[in-house]
């Protein structure tokens, strides 16, 4: 029993509603998320490139600071 | 008594969308969304240079110079999409008037241009968000990643397009709950129109964001930039005018005094903004753009597609009013907006009064003069103030924050109050009428047939000069599917048809009365409708029927017995969505206006 037919969308209608209304918005948000992820990975790579691989490679003055 | 009727109309379904239509639509929008996402991602990650080359080409062209290509390319896409949706909207309205309700959300061919036009509008906003490279979108842009800031105009365009599109599926949900509401002013229909019309504000902001770093010589605008701004303000006038469409077609389901309110508000808002933002002659030029596009759509829908034609407001008197006030008050924009609006609501509407006598199916009468003029002044002044605020925002000259907010709130509330007043109607007490009719002309027995004769009322139906006393038939099929006959008064209680009225087939024919706040109708003929369980109401000579609220006849598909709280909740949901859109647009104008201008 569905209350006054409300919410009686067929399973196929749900993606239609979401995509039709929000398709371009979803596309933009998706691209933003991908770019942010890439930025995070790039930042992590940059950070790991700056961090010495092991204490043996670190200069004594850096080790004390 | 003789019954002049006839064959039953073919049944038209009145329920939600068939699944095959839903599957086709879902597949189409899925593909479009994926394609759009892939294109934008490839652009942002530098995998394709196509969009960058397109931007450069736009900046190199004479017509689009003066603003960054990342703004003009989406703007061109958005304008094309809007015109596509506009054609679909007027085609759709003409179909509903001439043919009747849809057999499903996608069974009506006019819904496709609306759907793809609005999707294109939202996609244009998404494109505008993705196109600008590092820092290009200026100080008002919204930063979303380390090197990516989105222009606020692009965000608003995406949002307005999505808001409009949201009306599409919600319309189907609305029909499930309340039945089909065959009126332009159904709440979800207003979302479609409002989102599309107000997207022009987002487009104007986007244009201004694209102008940063493209300062031309001081003084008058180059012709191409003048034309660009005229296109945006003319587009805003078109968008705000769509709300009047029921009056344009001659089947308004609301009081006639609302038409001057709508015309004055649309004209004052758009034309004051045009005069301030475009420059001398901007208001007149915006009306010329309006007449070309909107007139073209009317020609396309009427003579070319063969549907019911629509009239077009003239707006010339309003434009000249604005240009006249600009000669004296241009240096004080808010005062200019208010004074222009007042003149638009009086002198401008006087020209529309004359124009309606020539061009409209339902011309204005003395019945609407006083209240219509008052509402026209309210709409004009409020619209003029809002137009001045919009232009000041686009020029980064907004007044102090509290003053802007107060003007915005008061003007919006004034228009809303005018609408509420216009929407209040009454029904005459115990008014009945008797059909004194006989077959006209042909003696064929197949539907439709035509009747001639008189309508005898139980009491004088109107006092003085009414807004209208007509026999209206609609949904009879195609270009000739609308019939409106202004009845000739023979005595205070007897009126005569001036030409044969159609009955039978799918025609819904009724006597319509509008006098002051009274708005009522009495059926002459209504077809049997199995889909909604309604029997035929035959056109029987000598029958006496009572007048009732006319939406009971014009919106016969609406379900009875839906609880009042559900109407309230559904209305509040739509109102909340609309409020979010209006506030978002106000935020966008304010954000742009108060951001630091680049040196």
Is residue B4 pLDDT above 50, yes or no?
Answer: no
Best-predicted range by mean pLDDT (B128-132, B178-182, B187-191, B194-198): B128-132
Range name among B15-29, B88-102, B133-147, B330-344 with the lowest pLDDT average: B15-29
Cross-chain Cβ contact B125/A22 below 8 Å: no
Cross-chain Cβ contact A30/B30 below 8 Å: no
How far is the C-alpha of B500 from the C-alpha of A21, rounded, in Å? Answer: 46
pLDDT confidence of residue B217: 58
What mean pLDDT comes out for the span B219-242?
A: 92
pLDDT confidence of residue A17: 66
Range name among B47-56, B305-314, B552-561 with the lowest pLDDT average: B552-561
**pLDDT band, residue B7 (cuts 50/70/90):** very low
Residues of A with Cβ-Cβ distance to B169 under 8 angstroms: 13, 16-17, 20-21
How far is the C-alpha of A40 from the C-alpha of A46, rounded, in Å? Answer: 10
Which residue from A minimizes the CA distance to B562? A4
pLDDT confidence of residue A11: 59
Query: Three-state SS for B490?
Result: strand
ipTM over 0.85: no
- Give φ, ψ of B571 to 5 degrees: -65, -40
Q: In this complex, how many residue pairs, one in chain A and one in chain B, have their CB atoms less than 8 Å apart?
A: 105
Other CB atoms closer than 10 Å to residue B10's CB: what's the count? 9
**pLDDT band, residue B369 (cuts 50/70/90):** very high
Judge contact between B195 and B118, C-beta under 8 A.
yes
Range name among A46-60, B481-495, B503-517 with the lowest pLDDT average: A46-60
Which of A16, A22, A45 to probe by mutation at the B interface, max B CB count within 10 Å? A16
- Give φ, ψ of B453 to 5 degrees: 140, -150
How far is the C-alpha of B85 from the C-alpha of B111, rounded, in Å? Answer: 9
Residue B266 token pair: 């649309």
Average pLDDT of adjacent 10-residue blocks, chain A of 65 residues: 38 67 86 91 84 56 44
A1 vs B: CB within 8 A? no
pLDDT digits (tens, 9 = 90+) for B278-323: 999 999 999 999 999 999 999 999 889 888 889 999 999 999 999 9
Judge contact between B2 and B503, C-beta under 8 A.
no
What mean pLDDT comes out for the span B454-469?
A: 95
Distance from CA of B165 to the nearest CA of A (A): 5
DSSP H/E element including B491:
strand B488-491
Distance from CA of B422 to the nearest CA of A (A): 31
Residues of A with Cβ-Cβ distance to B151 under 8 angstroms: none
Residues of A with Cβ-Cβ distance to B147 under 8 angstroms: 39
Residues of B with Cβ-Cβ distance to A22 under 8 angstroms: 162
Other CB atoms closer than 10 Å to residue B323's CB: what's the count? 18
Which of A17, A35, A39 is facing B169, going by the closest CB pair? A17
**pLDDT band, residue B274 (cuts 50/70/90):** very high
Which residue from B minimizes the CA distance to A3? B177
pLDDT confidence of residue A57: 52
Of residues B182 and A36, more confidently modeled: A36
Cross-chain Cβ contact B119/A24 below 8 Å: yes
Residues of A with Cβ-Cβ distance to B168 under 8 angstroms: 20-21
Of residues B305 and B275, more confidently modeled: B275
Which residue from B minimizes the CA distance to A13? B22
Which residue from A minimizes the CA distance to B166? A21
**Above pLDDT 90, what percent of chain B?**
66
Q: Is B526 exposed, middle or buried (0-12, 13-18, 19+ CB in 10 A)?
A: buried
Cross-chain Cβ contact A24/B173 below 8 Å: no
Of residues A63 and B382, more confidently modeled: B382
Which residue from B minimizes the CA distance to A27? B37
Q: Which residues pair with B545 in a beta bridge?
A: B433
pLDDT digits (tens, 9 = 90+) for B388-423: 999 999 999 999 999 999 999 999 999 999 999 999
Residues of A with Cβ-Cβ distance to B130 under 8 angstroms: 28, 31
pLDDT confidence of residue B188: 82
Distance from CA of B33 to the nearest CA of A (A): 5
Judge contact between B29 and A20, C-beta under 8 A.
yes
Of chain A residues 27-56, which have a CB less than 8 A from chain B?
27-28, 30-32, 34-36, 38-39
Is residue B120 pLDDT above 70, yes or no?
Answer: yes
Distance from CA of A53 to the nearest CA of B (A): 27
pLDDT confidence of residue B1: 44
Range name among B24-33, B161-170, B209-218, B324-333 with the lowest pLDDT average: B209-218
Which residue from B minimizes the CA distance to A9? B173
How far is the C-alpha of B102 from the C-alpha of B113, rounded, in Å? Answer: 15
Cross-chain Cβ contact B126/A28 below 8 Å: yes
pLDDT confidence of residue B17: 54
Judge contact between B408 and B586, C-beta under 8 A.
yes
Chain B positions touching chain A (beta carbons under 8 Å): 17, 19, 22-23, 25-26, 29-30, 32-33, 36-37, 40-41, 44-45, 115, 119, 122-123, 125-126, 129-130, 144-148, 150, 158-159, 161-162, 165-166, 168-169, 172-173, 176-177, 562, 566
Which residue from A minimizes the CA distance to B149? A32
Mean pLDDT of chain B: 89
Distance from CA of B118 to the nearest CA of A (A): 9
Residues of A with Cβ-Cβ distance to B195 under 8 angstroms: none
How far is the C-alpha of B83 from the C-alpha of B116, rounded, in Å? Answer: 11
Which of A19, A27, A32 is facing B26, going by the closest CB pair? A19
How far is the C-alpha of B300 from the C-alpha of B89, rounded, in Å? Answer: 12
Range name among B6-20, B206-220, B285-299, B395-409 with the lowest pLDDT average: B6-20
Cross-chain Cβ contact A25/B26 below 8 Å: no
Distance from CA of A47 to the nearest CA of B (A): 16
Query: Three-state SS for B158?
Result: helix
Cα Rg of chain B (Å, integer):
25
């Amino acid at each position: 029993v569905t209350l006054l037919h409300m919410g009686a969308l067929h399973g196929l209608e749900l993606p239609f509603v979401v995509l039709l209304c929000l398709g371009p918005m979803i596309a933009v948000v998706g691209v933003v998320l991908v770019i942010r992820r890439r930025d995070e990975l790039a930042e992590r790579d940059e950070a790991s490139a700056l961090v010495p691989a092991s204490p043996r490679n670190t200069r004594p003055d850096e080790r004390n600071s | 008594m003789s019954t002049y009727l006839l064959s039953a109309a073919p049944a038209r379904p009145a329920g939600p969308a068939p699944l095959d239509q839903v599957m086709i639509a879902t597949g189409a929008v899925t593909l479009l969304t994926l394609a759009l996402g892939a294109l934008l991602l490839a652009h942002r990650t530098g995998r394709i240079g196509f969009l960058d080359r397109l931007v450069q080409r736009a900046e190199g062209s004479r017509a689009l110079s003066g603003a960054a290509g990342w703004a003009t390319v989406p703007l061109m896409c958005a304008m094309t999409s809007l015109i596509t949706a506009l054609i679909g909207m007027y085609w759709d309205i003409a179909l509903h008037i001439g043919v009747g309700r849809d057999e499903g959300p996608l069974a009506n061919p006019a819904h496709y241009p609306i759907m793809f036009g609005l999707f294109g509008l939202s996609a244009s906003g998404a494109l505008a968000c993705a196109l600008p490279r590092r820092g290009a979108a200026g100080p008002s842009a919204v930063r979303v990643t380390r090197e990516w800031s989105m222009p606020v105009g692009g965000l608003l365009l995406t949002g307005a397009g999505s808001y409009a599109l949201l009306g599409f599926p919600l319309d189907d949900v609305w029909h499930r709950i309340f039945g089909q509401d065959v009126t332009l002013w159904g709440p979800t229909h207003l979302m479609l129109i409002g989102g599309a019309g107000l997207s022009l504000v987002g487009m104007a902001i986007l244009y201004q964001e694209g102008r940063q770093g493209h300062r031309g010589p001081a003084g008058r605008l180059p012709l191409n930039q003048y034309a660009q701004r005229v296109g945006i303000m003319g587009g805003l006038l078109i968008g705000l005018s769509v709300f009047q469409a029921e009056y344009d077609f001659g089947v308004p389901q609301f009081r006639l005094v609302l038409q001057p309110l709508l015309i004055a508000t649309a004209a004052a808002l758009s034309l004051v903004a045009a005069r301030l933002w475009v420059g001398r002659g901007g208001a007149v030029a915006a009306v010329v753009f309006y007449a070309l596009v909107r007139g073209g759509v009317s020609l396309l829908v009427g003579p070319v597609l063969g549907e019911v034609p629509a009239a077009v407001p003239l707006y010339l008197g309003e434009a000249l009013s604005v240009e006249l006030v600009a000669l004296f008050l241009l240096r004080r924009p808010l005062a200019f907006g208010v004074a222009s609006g007042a003149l638009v609501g009086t002198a401008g509407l006087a020209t529309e009064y004359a124009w309606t006598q020539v061009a409209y199916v339902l011309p204005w009468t003395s019945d609407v003069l006083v209240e219509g003029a008052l509402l026209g002044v309210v709409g004009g002044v409020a619209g003029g103030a809002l137009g001045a605020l919009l232009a000041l925002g686009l020029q980064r000259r907004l007044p102090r924050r509290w003053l802007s907010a107060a003007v915005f709130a008061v003007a919006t509330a004034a228009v809303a109050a005018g609408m509420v007043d216009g929407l209040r109607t009454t029904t005459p007490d115990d008014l009945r009428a008797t059909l004194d009719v006989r077959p006209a002309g042909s003696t064929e027995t197949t539907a439709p047939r035509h009747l001639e004769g008189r309508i005898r009322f139980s009491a004088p139906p109107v006092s003085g000069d009414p807004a209208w006393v007509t026999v209206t038939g609609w949904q009879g099929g195609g270009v000739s599917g609308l019939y409106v006959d202004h009845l000739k008064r023979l005595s205070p209680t007897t009126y005569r048809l001036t030409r044969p009225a159609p009955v039978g087939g799918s025609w819904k024919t009724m006597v319509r009365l509008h006098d002051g706040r009274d708005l009522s109708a009495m059926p002459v003929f209504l077809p049997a409708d199995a889909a909604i369980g309604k029997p035929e109401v035959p056109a029987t000579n000598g029958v006496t029927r009572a007048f009732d609220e006319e939406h009971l006849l014009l919106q016969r598909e609406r379900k009875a017995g839906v609880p009042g709280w559900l109407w309230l909740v559904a209305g509040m949901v739509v109102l909340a969505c609309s409020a979010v859109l209006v506030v978002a647009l106000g935020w966008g104008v304010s954000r742009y206006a108060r951001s630091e201008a680049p040196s």
